[in-house]
Structure 1
């Protein structure tokens, strides 16, 4: 039973970082990427958002923490989440931790991972136990979309509500969508940021086309994973094996892309264009200097939206399609992207409506704020101000 007494709660934010990895320049890529960023720097986006939305006392709780210590220093656990409803992982260790700590939980941004929104998901027993353990300790679980709700319902978990992703509420401007719509229809972009995607055979033609656009529009290639890609972005070629470099070269090169051949030119090209970030606020500031973001990474494009620039996400699985649909981020399939001839056609295809985006964002924020309030967590003034503005939009 969750106690909602009016006392100042000590909130434990579990896992990863609080959205900012300090002194990252002193760390090896393995340490900063695996231990701090959780194998994907995109995780910094929603962790940064949650940290800045909570006004209550915050304590960082690693998953390896002693449960008895956690109970001493915390009254409630906040679990920033992503695609943990995933058949490819076994979360038995996390289930053990949640059960041993046995504190009330607030779960934010939980989503499913599958090839498409029509896919059946068969989860491992440890993951099922984890999901049930957090559900038993939560008023309601904040999830990414209806697809995730349906999967959880089949497990008997029904205390869920759609909130999308906390990163949707970083920017305090209630008319963010209208600002972005105007930029979508202004002059053709002069500077382009491309979110470097997964290294997957199904995406190689997408990435090759994106690199061509990036070069044409004076762009950069912002990576989130895998580790050796991040090493190259940090100019730490000594951390990358020749096998990994060869694999990446073969993946991205194309006979038409002469500037990627030979491999020495390829490495120089990466050094010139690759970027990576370990602080969400620095990432946001950097993105604000561009005209458009495009690529297959959800959080890279979500941060672009929050920095007030247009973005187009190219979806390739249930995770990206569900969250793009929930948040209203402009999106298209990989096949649609490969069919368009230029950026103008891509922008025309997504047909972004700023007012619709803002109303949808306000409705999601209403549910998001209620999760904090029902858990007894004080929210920041900035989130409260955005919520008040959003309430006006909903009533109009």
Structure 2
């Protein structure tokens, strides 16, 4: 019987989904890509593709032309998972990725990409000053794959506007995070004795949320006893971990004494599995962060999402996540009223068809999904059982003075390590620049010598 060849893929992510990372590691290197939600869609892809014959490694968000030869030699494909990558500040990264993709000799798979725009944007007229950069990137990926996967219909229409063909060049697959556990979702009903005062629920919020929405979420922490805030951004992690504020935004929890942090129950997660498992203990989740509520959905916990832009709009619509618009919160409804007026089971009815569509997309690109074969116990589950993952990071308001001092010391050590790495990188680049300067001087000298020889030959031509 012929043995199946092992395949090894490189995936654009900050870390391997089952890698043990500590708070000190995160202080030293931002492996969440500024937002811990990034870990969830990498986790979804990993669970669907890893097998005894397939390994997936992280590029740690570091891919450059200098690594192309190594990637071509050691990997069978490059998986690119993106969130709202079609935005102004991501264009330099998109251009760099395009150059790398064009130099690769292996397949490239774009499993998710979305557009950042205002809620209710007119899709048919969607164009940006960086259209050419996006068009070039998608074209480069299509040179190395059969079809690209997009997060929703708004992004699909945007690519149509750029001249790509829906169904041929691109398909809507939603967010891979939703497929971490296969084709079935089971959202729990609220308890018969459900009470807001006794329920344990989670909140999340975005810095770009309307001020009244921020106030609504903050007031939940003031008005109810068992509410836990789950921050997702890198600077929020540093605030939660050390207690020192690194930013200040009106109406947004940006101080350790703000209601969202003051209870001491805020938590930050360094990996997807512990995040999802923690959400199993909540009665419901509410907030403006898509992945914050995806974690709840995967855990079977009811959730209310507040979409604030087009990137969330297309995702909640595609996956059927229960949602209310920010304007609804201006009326100051109780969370109980929202839970009663929304269909908490809506995602269940969309999941099977969405998952089948996702599997078709993977197979069309020559990938071999494994989770569909036995979603109850996948190879990824066995790997997860063997892994050692860091627990949820508790707020500095919930720890002893001794541990707080330890955290500050750890942060200082991590920053020293980061500074050492930066100094080493600077030294390396200086040495490289010096070597290039010397080589350049030699070339200039050779050019001058050749020019003199040319001039002499011109002034003294050979006679026949």
TM-score under structure 1 length normalisation: 0.81
Q: 1:72 to 1:195 in 2, by over 3 A?
A: same
Partner of 2:34: helix, strand, or coil? Answer: coil
2:360 to 343, 347, 370: 370
Counterpart residue number, 1:350 = 342
1: CA distance between counterparts of 2:32 and 2:25? 12
Is 1:191–2:194 an aligned residue pair? Answer: no
| 1:163-174 alignment, distance < 5 Å | 163-172=173-182, 174=184
Alignment match, 1:128: 135
Q: Does structure 2 retain, via aligned residues, the 8 Å contact 1:233–1:270? A: no
Q: Distance in 2 between matches of 1:271 and 1:303?
A: 22
User: How far 1:24 moved relative to its partner?
Assistant: 2.2
Structure 1 CA distance for aligned equivalents of residues 372 and 5 of structure 2: 21
Q: Helix, strand or coil: the match of 1:109?
A: coil
Aligned partners of 1:11, 1:135: CA distance in 2, in Å? 18
Distance in 1 (alpha carbons) for counterparts of 2:200 and 2:129: 42
- Which position in structure 2 is the counterpart of 1:107? 110
* Counterpart position of 1:42: 37
Distance 1:127 1:160 in 2: 13
Alignment of 1:1-396 (within 5 A): 8-20=6-18, 22-27=20-25, 29=27, 31-32=28-29, 34=30, 36-54=31-49, 55=51, 56-62=54-60, 63-64=62-63, 66-90=67-91, 91-119=94-122, 120-124=126-130, 125-158=132-165, 159-172=169-182, 174=184, 176-177=185-186, 179-180=187-188, 182-183=189-190, 187-189=194-196, 190-198=199-207, 200=208, 203-215=210-222, 216-225=224-233, 227-234=234-241, 236-238=242-244, 240-241=245-246, 244=247, 247-248=248-249, 250-252=250-252, 265-266=257-258, 269-270=261-262, 272-352=264-344, 354=345, 357-380=347-370, 382-386=371-375
Q: C-alpha displacement at 1:172, in angstroms?
A: 4.5
- Does the CA contact (< 8 Å) of 1:61 and 1:70 recur in 2? no
- CA distance 1:308–1:264, shift in 2 (3 Å): closer
Q: Per the alignment, do residues 126 and 110 of structure 1 end up closer, same or farther by CA in structure 2, a change over 3 Å counting?
A: same
CA distance in 2, matches of 1:168, 1:268: 27
State the SS of the aligned residue for 1:369: helix
For residues 345 and 214 of structure 1, the distance between their equivalents in structure 2, rounded to whole angstroms, comes to 17
Maintained 8 Å contact 1:287/1:307: yes
- Check the 8 A contact 1:192/1:217 in 2, yes or no: no
Distance 1:192 1:268 in 2: 12
Kept in 2: contact 1:98–1:134 (CA 8 A): yes
What do residues 230-270 of structure 1 show as CA deviations (whole Å, max 9, x unaligned)?
21122x135x44xx2xx24x4348xxxxxx9xx78449944
Offset of 1:74 from its aligned partner?
1.2
Partners of 1:173 and 1:116 lie apart in 2 by 29
- Counterpart of 1:3 in structure 2 is none
RMSD: 2.6
CA distance in 2 between counterparts of 1:17 and 1:271 reads 31
Residues 193 and 127 of structure 1: is their aligned pair in 2 closer, same or farther, counting only changes over 3 Å? Answer: same
Larger Rg: 2
Within 2, Cα distance between the matches of 1:268 and 1:13?
Answer: 34
Deviations 1:158-195 (A, max 9, x none): 21111111111123572x24x33x23887235011001
- TM-score, normalization by structure 2: 0.70
- Structure 1 residues 264 and 369, CA, compared in 2 at 3 Å: closer, same or farther? closer
| Alpha-carbon distance, 1:157 to partner | 2.2
The separation in 1 between residues aligned to 2:256 and 2:57, in whole angstroms, is: 46
| CA shift for structure 1 position 329 | 0.7
Give, in whole Å, the separation in 2 of the partners of 1:106 and 1:184.
43
CA distance in 2: counterparts of 1:285 and 1:154, whole angstroms? 41
Offset at residue 53 of structure 1 (A):
1.2
CA contact (8 A) 2:221 2:259 kept: no
Which blocks of at least 5 consecutive residues in structure 2 are unaligned? 377-464
1:354-383 CA distance string (max 9 Å, x none): 3x5334211111121122223333323x34
Q: Is the 8 A contact 1:85 1:123 kept in 2?
A: no
